[in-house]
Chains A and B, each alone.
Chain A
């Protein structure tokens, strides 16, 4: 009988996986995916945004499998995304077309269409409601029925699908500079790796899929270093956006960039546009008053802009993103939050958690090599001491 390898590794892993499953099942209760979709809306929104994959059903499944860990759930979704062929890009989306559910401005009290508070935690008192322990599905159905009756009574005088942008209003008033459309084809960071210096489209993509905590903390750091000038949320809107794709074999598409008024063509009448569904997003446009010295020596205040957008309702992240967008657009070496390599290379959940957790892997050969070096250097050191 010959020597055989000690095959402990495979078995140990099998046992570990079983032990992990035990943790999820030991209380004898499993989560129901529809219940997760129904009751964990905010976690689903966070996970969809960080994984950059819009699917509440898949997010719910991942959350169940990951026992609620956003780190693990995002990992599952990203890995799944890697298996999906992607052949098409959607048409440009215009957030003016959003069917708004919530829309506020911190910069102006009166805005066209009004401040629509919508569903938000901002106005609640953060007091734990212990009555929720007793809540049943039937309670939910009854409450919703009453709520729907109330909503029927109030009349709608505002067209929620056509609310003008606050910033457009400011541009019309001449309070902020008009800016031309940048209709360049965006770069896709998932198809080609990022090179520095980055384009704005690359920055926005990385920011929107950044880990919520990381983006929030860096946005906070940027805010704290701003000093006297304080950014203002010009508009925050949340609602659904319809998505359309082109017929992929349409040769006219090659000339699309030349025809300027295509972007305002009504997609519903465009026979070449295929509607594929809608997504809920949070969009934020932030104003940064900046003191600028004009040619005549006079100092004036001009408004710089920051833009944030996320899948789902992720308000803090979208606002933080808009702050970082502005910081990275102006750049500079004074603050790390203005350094694009520092910000963009650190915020991805899968990458950061992966590399940190890799420290748990065996490193003993490299360590052994270092020990050898340490010994050699000690030998050299003692040789010198002997003289």
Chain B
């Protein structure tokens, strides 16, 4: 693997931080992802996030047909430990996961508690495509007025938006989402973002 664990992960981190502090801004990991040559059933961008963030202290959960293999590989690469969905710091919902799995992950993910809202899980979701088309309107911290995203996922578009809104209805409790796609794009939706669906017609 030609990925430089110091410099490439630093660059990927800055892009992730940029997307998290400016929800709706799409950042691209191609420069880092191209250096990955692992045979693994997840997006390169997802794996970059894993290498960037996971280590011995992290507990994670994977939703995928190849869950066992991927969890083992992640453990070998990072020493992070797999656990139940409700105890995970990071939940990976991969492209081949069933729609119910994404719903279940959002429902069961730990939203933090009032003393420690930071302990809430981060869900990393592999989408088909990410773009700034005017499909969902975002407002909140990090956004000057509004920003727009379109997230095409394995489930129907609305489903995760509503589940998320419900889960995040009691700020500061809530989950934070990161989406990746096959083109190495990422967007971040911290719990502070309000999402409005475009009204059709």
Contacts and interface: CB of A to CB of B under 8 A. Distances in A.
Are chains A and B touching directly in their complex (CB below 8 angstroms)? yes
Interface of A: 87, 191-192, 195, 248-249, 254
Instruction: Kindly name the residue among B56, B79, B81, B116 whose own CB sees the greatest number of chain A CB atoms within 10 A.
Output: B56
B76 interface: yes
B56 A192 contact: no
Nearest to B56: A87
Contacts of B116: 195
A249 B57 contact: no
Given A87-B79, A191-B57, 7 more contacts: A87-B56, A191-B56, A192-B57, A195-B116, A248-B79, A249-B76, A254-B81
Nearest to B79: A87
Nearest to A188: B57
The list of the 8 closest CB pairs from A to B, nearest first, reads: A191-B57, A87-B79, A249-B76, A87-B56, A192-B57, A248-B79, A195-B116, A191-B56
A87 B57 CA distance: 10
Interface of B: 56-57, 76, 79, 81, 116
Contacts of B76: 249
B74 to A, nearest CB: 13
Nearest to A85: B55
Name B's interface SS: loop
A87 to B, nearest CB: 6
Contacts of B79: 87, 248
Contacts, number: 9
Contacts of A87: 56, 79
Nearest to B116: A195
A248 B76 CA distance: 9
9 contacts: A87-B56, A87-B79, A191-B56, A191-B57, A192-B57, A195-B116, A248-B79, A249-B76, A254-B81
A311 B56 CA distance: 25
Nearest to B55: A87
Contacts of A254: 81
A310 to B, nearest CB: 26
Nearest to A89: B56
A85 B76 CA distance: 16
A191 B57 CA distance: 8
A191 B116 CA distance: 17
A70 B54 CA distance: 36
Contacts of B56: 87, 191
Contacts of B57: 191-192
A191 B58 CA distance: 11
Contacts of A192: 57
Nearest to A248: B79
A293 to B, nearest CB: 36
A254 B82 CA distance: 10
Nearest to B75: A249
B198 to A, nearest CB: 42
A192 B116 CA distance: 13
A87 B78 CA distance: 10
A374 to B, nearest CB: 36
A192 to B, nearest CB: 7
Nearest to A249: B76
Contacts of A248: 79
A254 B56 CA distance: 13
A196 to B, nearest CB: 10
Nearest to A195: B116
A254 B79 CA distance: 12
Nearest to B81: A254
A248 B81 CA distance: 12
B67 to A, nearest CB: 16
Contacts of A249: 76
A249 B75 CA distance: 9
A362 to B, nearest CB: 31
Give the residue among B79, B81, B116 with the most A Cβ atoms within 10 A. B79
A146 to B, nearest CB: 51
A249 B56 CA distance: 12
Nearest to B76: A249
B58 to A, nearest CB: 11
B197 to A, nearest CB: 39
B157 to A, nearest CB: 38
A244 to B, nearest CB: 18
A254 B76 CA distance: 14
B151 to A, nearest CB: 33
A23 to B, nearest CB: 37
Nearest to B57: A191
A87 B116 CA distance: 26
Contacts of B81: 254
A114 B113 CA distance: 54
A192 B119 CA distance: 12
A201 to B, nearest CB: 15
A87 B76 CA distance: 12
B87 to A, nearest CB: 14
A87 B56 CA distance: 7
A363 to B, nearest CB: 31
Contacts of A195: 116
A248 B116 CA distance: 31
A248 B79 CA distance: 8
A192 B55 CA distance: 13
B36 to A, nearest CB: 22
A191 B56 CA distance: 10
A210 B117 CA distance: 30
